[in-house]
Structure 1
Amino acid sequence: MDSITHTLFGLTLYGALKTEKETKRYNRALLVTAIGASQIPDIDVVSQFWDTQGLYQMWHRGITHSIFITPIWAFVFWGLAWLLFRIKDIRLFFIAWLAVFIHVTSDLFNAWGTGYLEPFSKIRITFGTIPIIDFVFWIIMLGAFIIAKRSSIPSQKVFRTAWLLVAVHIAAQSLCGYIIYEQHEENYEKIALSANFIPYHFTVIGKKDDIVEIVEDNLFQSEKLLYTLQSSENADLDLLFRERPEAKTLYEWAPFVVIVDNDKHLGLYDPRFYRNGQSFLFEYIEKKGQLDEMHVKN
């Protein structure tokens, strides 16, 4: 999920747990814990500043998003609560643990996926049933803040209801995505799913031999073929991997790729993020420049 959604998750968790029976200092510690722990797995973005081997694609949403690391993050925020607020309460440890768990688990539902089982498995788990930015989440949680402020309903009840609605939305959208995935799976050798910003609308990306098809589908309308792409499966990628380490990382990270080998470029891209004739995850080298460089060296 995006940073705004994770922040809203933290604030909604705080609203669901805050109580007037506790001291202001405890509630401040609770606020910092809920928001901070909801964000902390994304600290891996700093790795791009020292990445010289093109491994950022693997590092981002990698070990920091592992289910096995969640108690370590929880311990960090439990310690911070004591250092910053002098609150040593085991409840904050479990609240931090819950916040981190929500973060890393919700990211599983995006097309990007996470290293949920690292370091014991390098498999990127992705369901692709929830978009990275899900406006339904925003509407539910922002609606809860408005209701909590303007109504006489206890705020804890409002925010807990919001969490229930979030869970129902995830379950309903994921069930819809699963049905669509099953309908298309027999047509391809490899298949991936990516949720659209419109609720219950999905993009199905399927590969068979050297052909990749991108299809838009939902349970309420007929499917629509958006793109047919051809992958140059016999291309020699050694030079590409040598010159652009990011390309090798993308090749290993993505469920499958489209390989481009024409007069201008040698490269590959992730078709899950293909929009308007291009994918923003595209790693390539200019052929003319590389050939000239090889000629000079010879």
Structure 2
Amino acid sequence: MDTVTHTLFGVILYRAIPKTGMDKPMTRALLLTSLVGSQIPDIDVVSQWWDSSGQYLMWHRGITHSIFLAPVWALLISLVCLLLFKTKDWRLFWIGLLAVFIHDTSDIFNAWGTGYLEPFTQQRLTFGTVPIVDLVFWVLILGGFVVTRWKRHLPTHRVFQGVWALIALHIAVQSIQGYAIYDSAKERYEQVALAADFVPWSYQVIGKAGDTVEISQATTAFGELKLLHRLPTATQADLTDLFAQNPAARTLQQWAPLVVIVDEPGRTGLYDPRFYRNGQSFLFEYIDKK
């Protein structure tokens, strides 16, 4: 998910917790825990400052997003709260753990994926059933704030617990339909990947068969695939020079579920077709031929 969504998740997590009997230091610690826990896995973005070997794709959303690291993040946040607010309460650990869990788990539903099971495997876990920026989340969260203003007699934490339930329902509906589309497409292609569109219940299906990659659109699990692009891929191309001169290309091939290989007179490269827009993918690594 994008940074704004993760921040909003932290805000509504805080709002969904009943605070009866909590003193001010505890509520402040709880707010800090919810916000930091919802953001801290993305601390790996700093790795691009020193990346000189083309490994950033594997580092970003890598080990910091591992579900096995979630308790470590939660413990660190609890210790920070102890230092800043003099609060010693196990609820801060559990809320921190929940916030990190929500961040890590929500990220596996979009096309970028995460190293959810690192260090035991470097394979990216990705479902591709929810877009990275999902405006439905924003609408549901905004609706929660509107309800708390309009229906002031309703307990705030109950309203936002309801928002969380609707968010979970939205993810479930998107993912069930996405899985049905993915499962159906597997019969047509050697390799298949899914990428949710910004419009709810709309997906792009990326399938490879032989020397061709097709990008099709599906609207709901009951609709037919509509072919958008048919892309040739040079599966027999020699990529030795590409990987030697541009290490990020090897990383991209390892990171992506499938790639399109370009072998033209002027350049050799590869790109991730899940991010193919307006005739190009923003994840494209290549070298110019001499």
Q: TM-score, normalised by structure 2?
A: 0.97
User: 2:68 corresponds to which residue?
Assistant: 68
Correspondence list, 1:97-246, <5 A: 97-151=97-151, 152-219=153-220, 221-246=223-248
Structure 1 counterpart of 2:43 = 43
Shift of 1:241: 0.7
Q: Give deviations 1:11-47, integer Å, cap 9, x for gaps.
A: 0100001414211111111001001000000000000
Give the counterpart of 2:268 among 266, 269, 288.
266
Aligned partners of 1:85, 1:149: CA distance in 2, in Å? 30
Amino acid in structure 1 at the alignment position of 2:31:
L
In the alignment, is the contact (CA less than 8 A) between 1:18 and 1:30 conserved in 2?
no
* AA in 2 matched with 1:189: E
Distance 1:262 1:223 in 2: 30
Shift of 1:142: 1.6
SS across alignment from 2:16: helix
CA distance, structure 1, for counterparts of residue 255 and residue 3 of structure 2: 22
Give per-residue Cα distances to partners, 1:59-95, cap 9 Å, x unaligned: 0000000010000000011001101111111100000
Question: Which residue of the other structure, out of 249, 255, 276, is the alignment partner of 1:247?
Answer: 249
Shift, 1:221, TM fit? 4.1
Residue type of the alignment partner of 2:195 = S
Match of 1:81 in 2: 81
Higher alpha-carbon deviation: 142-151 or 104-113: 142-151
Aligned counterparts of 1:76 and 1:150: Cα–Cα separation in 2: 38
| Aligned-residue offset at 1:265 | 1.2
Partners of 1:81 and 1:87 within 8 A in 2: yes
In 1: Cα distance, 2:181 partner to 2:257 partner: 18
Cα shift at 1:149: 2.8
Report if aligned partners of 1:180, 1:218 keep a CA contact under 8 Å in 2. Answer: no
Aligned length, in residue pairs: 288
Match of 2:258 among 256, 259, 264: 256
What is the aligned partner in structure 1 of residue 31 from structure 2? 31
> Does 2:273 match 1:275?
no
21-30 vs 56-65, which moves further: 21-30
Question: SS at 1:76's partner residue?
Answer: helix
The worse-fitting range, judged by mean Cα deviation, of 40-49 and 147-156 is 147-156
Return the offset for 1:146: 2.1
Partner of 1:59: 59
**Distance in 2 of aligned mates of 1:195 and 1:285:** 30
Structure 1 residue ranges without an equivalent (≥5):
292-298
Q: Tell me, in whole angstroms, the C-alpha distance in 1 between the residues paired with 2:18 and 2:199.
A: 33
Q: Give unpaired runs (5+ residues) of structure 2.
A: none
**1:285 lines up with 2:287 in the alignment:** yes
- CA-based RMSD of the aligned residues comes to 0.9
Counterpart Cα distance in 2 of 1:142 and 1:68: 32
2:200 match: secondary structure: coil
Worse-superposed segment, 31-40 or 148-157: 148-157
Counterparts of 1:139 and 1:280, CA distance in 2: 28
Q: Distance in 1 between matches of 2:48 and 2:285?
A: 16
Q: Matched residues in 1 for 2:114 and 2:94: separation?
A: 22
**Separation in 1 of the partners of 2:122 and 2:223?**
37
List structure 1 segments (4+ residues) > 3 angstroms apart after TM superposition.
none
Identity %: 57
Q: Distance in 2 between matches of 1:148 and 1:82?
A: 31
Distance in 1 (alpha carbons) for counterparts of 2:263 and 2:180: 35
